[in-house]
Amino acid sequence: MSIFIITLTLVVLQTPAQCSGANLKIGVPENYDGIFPWYLAKLPNLPATSTDVVVTGDDEGIFGVEAGFLYALKPLDREKQPSYSLQVSFSASVQSQSFMVEVCVIDKNDNVPVFIEESMRGSVQLGLLKGISFMQVGASDRDDRNTAHADLRFSLMDQTPRIPSSHMFFIDSVTGEVSLTEDGELQAPHSTALFY
Ligand SMILES: [Ca+2]
Ligand SMILES: [Ca+2]
């Protein structure tokens, strides 16, 4: 029986995230680092003559309305809170009215993937055929799993020692399953290395 240690790397693809719109839904990017108040959108449901405009539904007091525009007073963190359901109340023609606004925080790729376990050990039984998985590695990413920001790919970076072949192992880039290559199948029984 041989035991090996391998070094792995993760590759993360990037594509823009989407925030679908329905009713009054506003998509805003996370981690805004510009000037505050940050004006997010004009509220078309708010009559120009409305008074006593109040925004509720956000415990931290991040959002407000000024001159018909919804604004935020600090950057948003999708990993902390992915959306906000706000109620905008106002008075128009003496009557009190309100409508709902959903603020959807659009993901940015601001988290690196991390392995579920810092170090993993697998063992190969003598006579194991190529392509048959003998261990599986896992990783996670806090970004939006519906986007490529959390779409992980595995690859083997290095093998130590590189004997009797430098290409003894294969990792499935999607599943993280590790198996022997053809070289590994042929050479493992003759390998003098007990640990990789
Ligand atoms: Ca990420
Ligand atoms: Ca993110």
Q: What is the pLDDT of residues 71-94, one digit of tens each?
A: 999 999 999 999 999 999 999 888
The pair of structure tokens assigned to 15 is 């594509």
Neighbours of 89 (CB within 10 A): 15
Ligand with the closest atom to the CA of 149: 1
Cα 192 to averaged position of ligand 2 atoms, centre (Å): 46
Give 22 or 141, the one with higher predicted confidence: 141
Alpha-carbon separation of residue 92 from 47, 65, 111, 116, 194 (angstroms) = 7, 15, 45, 55, 80
The answer to whether 132 touches 170, Cβ cutoff 8 Å, is no
pLDDT digits (tens, 9 = 90+) for 158-191: 999 999 999 999 999 999 999 999 999 999 888 8
Which domains does the chain show, CATH number per domain?
Answer: 24-106 (2.60.40.60), 109-195 (2.60.40.60)
pLDDT tier for residue 23 given thresholds of 50, 70 and 90: low
Cα 81 to averaged position of ligand 1 atoms, centre (Å): 16
The predicted pLDDT at position 194 comes to: 84
Ligand with the closest atom to the CA of 78: 2
Cα 19 to averaged position of ligand 1 atoms, centre (Å): 18
The dihedral built from the CA positions of residue 107, 109, 78 and 175, taken in this order, carries a sign that is positive
In one letter, which amino acid is 154? F
The pair of structure tokens assigned to 75 is 């950057």
- CB-based neighbours (< 5 A) of ligand 1, an ion: 109, 111, 141, 143, 149
| pTM of the predicted structure, to 2 decimals | 0.75
